[in-house]
Structure 1
């Protein structure tokens, strides 16, 4: 394939030559893990709720298949097309997120989903990658035109998203989007003192959430004090990791999937630990790490500030989501209902993460032509670091 692609001038041949094949392969490895672990975890959950054993499997096969198509399809787009898609998608998903407050499905006191025929759509999942790309463009456009209030518009957009997510409420998604925005501001050249101030505000907001939202207070108290509240889910997950040991109990031999209601979603990493052991868990962590590190390394050679800032936000959101899910399962942080990208069950999760990775591959693909926002960004960043 590699040899023939050098002389292949078709659109696919040019795409294959220029796309980051390592990240692409790692993405499909994660999709493969998603199929395997859904076969392991979902039948018991389906039976427990009175559904067909294969209900979740059939749905996830479709979701992950669509996700694979999205990754490849989006990765073939030009940078301008990615920006247009993010603007249009961002407006639509912003409106849909607002719609959840009126017509959304209420689950455990939160309105985050819109009911569709095949799945429940969580618009904020799709809003996250669109926000990262649009913010990257806004922050770089102010370098081209001094009269364009890119920074002001970016903060206004972030403030609107904060208001919507707080109203749902979805503190986890709000935390991820805030972290994405702070990373983008840092990459854009924001003073370290202001970056530290931003993280300080995040901590203050977290403390405020502890006192304002009962479910946040409950999760933090259960994390800090083992004798407070119900620890059934996290204790069961930790026992699953212990039972799995180094090599696991074997496919189908796990018990955690019979005990946890969210074994196919929030605690799918515990299923992997019990049935396949620490070796496979470490492999999954390494695959996520390769995608994040590989993307950041490609940005070192990139001179388009739009690409650098937008991709930094996209990969931050992807890596942070994976960290939160796995760390929650291991009781390293308070539990948070956040899916493991491409592995946990969920149509919104699989497709939104596929959208983000497709955008990463499209933006980091070697392309001819002038950048969207000028040259010399990496050179400036290197000079700033050495100063």
Structure 2
């Protein structure tokens, strides 16, 4: 264990934030999983959910540790290799829905031999952001036309987004928003960005019209999006309204200091109490203080992302950090906003807090990439110090003595 800790590189504050979030997650996940323990004929054993969450976090931090040891410039080539792979995974996910007998679009595939469910869209988000960062670093300070960027940049982006859209509109919207933010930070011309925004809205409009004209192809998806937006604006009596009302009751019960760990009542009524609405359970049990503490941890993570990006020596490192790091914080604040009814129900989890293996693993993958960039800078500084010592005769003499 000591040897592992000695080999940990990268921004220590980011390591600390990730560890605090993971440790903090155990109590709310264990508490909120009580309703799941009785669903589908369960025997009420909540301990197995805690063990499952622990296993997900252990594997996630192993991924984080392994990835942060990879030099970050390797992700340029890896992103190119992985783009076709995630497209194939998304196609498989979409294809299995077409044979689902009228059920809603599936977001999951089951990995062979291990029997574990996996959500390809979360992996696609990380890979796509790394791919966009690679391309932007390649054309930095070069005069490019919009036509030149269509095939190498926007074709993979829109292909991935169009494969995610039928099953998961909120994830598609988040990825698209983050890509726009990244290309803006990367210096992509604003006039081209406006064209992409218009194209995105046009494609979404065509998809909605197509889904309305042929409801059997993508059953209930557009209706679900519309009902969530209408419920958010008109407070209609729907399943989403029920979830929001229960979440608000949980938040009201929490008060300033909360009811105490494991004493939530609304966990027994919220259908997604351990994932989508876990923030409401946290406030119920830990109060306003716990909710603000959690929010400050994500704000600290955002600040450290900006610092790591600013200190990175190369443009690819800067864009890579912002590309894979910003969606984590953005998703966290969307989850919190949904719980307090500042945003329509989206189905987005709270990174490193909510239960769910894919979400945890891909968040750890993204953080590992950020740590890889920051560890590169630490290595460079250490090499410079060693080089200075080797060039200084007094330093060499003192080391010998």
TM-based fold match above 0.5: yes
Q: Take 1:222 and 1:204, find their aligned partners in 2: how far apart are those partners?
A: 24
Q: Take 2:201 and 2:348, find their aligned partners in 1: how far apart are those partners?
A: 20
Which residue of structure 1 aligns with residue 15 of structure 2?
24
Which residue of structure 1 aligns with residue 109 of structure 2?
114
Q: Take 1:135 and 1:364, find their aligned partners in 2: how far apart are those partners?
A: 20
Residues 280 and 12 (structure 1), Cα distance of their counterparts in 2 relative to 1, 3 Å cut? closer
Map of 1:334-349 to 2, 5 A cutoff?
334-349=344-359
Partner-residue secondary structure (3-state), 1:220: helix
Kept in 2, the 8 Å contact 1:184–1:310? The answer is no
Partner-residue secondary structure (3-state), 1:68: helix
Q: Take 2:260 and 2:129, find their aligned partners in 1: how far apart are those partners?
A: 40
Among 217, 220, 223, the alignment partner of 2:229 is 220
Give the root-mean-square deviation of aligned CA atoms: 2.8
Alignment gaps of 5+ in structure 1? 370-387
Question: Deviations for 1:161-212, whole angstroms, at most 9, x for unmatched residues?
Answer: 122112x321111111111211111111123455456556666777777775
Question: Deviations for 1:194-252, whole angstroms, at most 9, x for unmatched residues?
Answer: 54565566667777777751111000000000245341110000010000011000111
Is 1:45 paired with 2:36?
yes
Among 170, 174, 178, the alignment partner of 1:180 is 178
Which residue of structure 1 aligns with residue 126 of structure 2?
129
Question: Deviations for 1:43-80, whole angstroms, at most 9, x for unmatched residues?
Answer: 33222332242332221111111111111221121113
Kept in 1, the 8 Å contact 2:308–2:373? The answer is no
Residues 334 and 207 (structure 1), Cα distance of their counterparts in 2 relative to 1, 3 Å cut? farther
Structure 2 length-normalised TM: 0.81
TM superposition shift of 1:253: 1.1
Kept in 1, the 8 Å contact 2:21–2:352? The answer is yes
Structure 1 length-normalised TM: 0.84
TM superposition shift of 1:140: 1.6
Which residue of structure 2 aligns with residue 239 of structure 1?
249
**Higher mean Cα deviation, 60-69 or 143-152?**
143-152
Which residue of structure 2 aligns with residue 62 of structure 1?
55
Q: Take 1:281 and 1:338, find their aligned partners in 2: how far apart are those partners?
A: 17
Among 81, 94, 100, the alignment partner of 2:87 is 94
Largest Rg, 1 or 2: 2
Alignment gaps of 5+ in structure 2? 212-221, 381-401
Which residue of structure 2 aligns with residue 154 of structure 1?
153
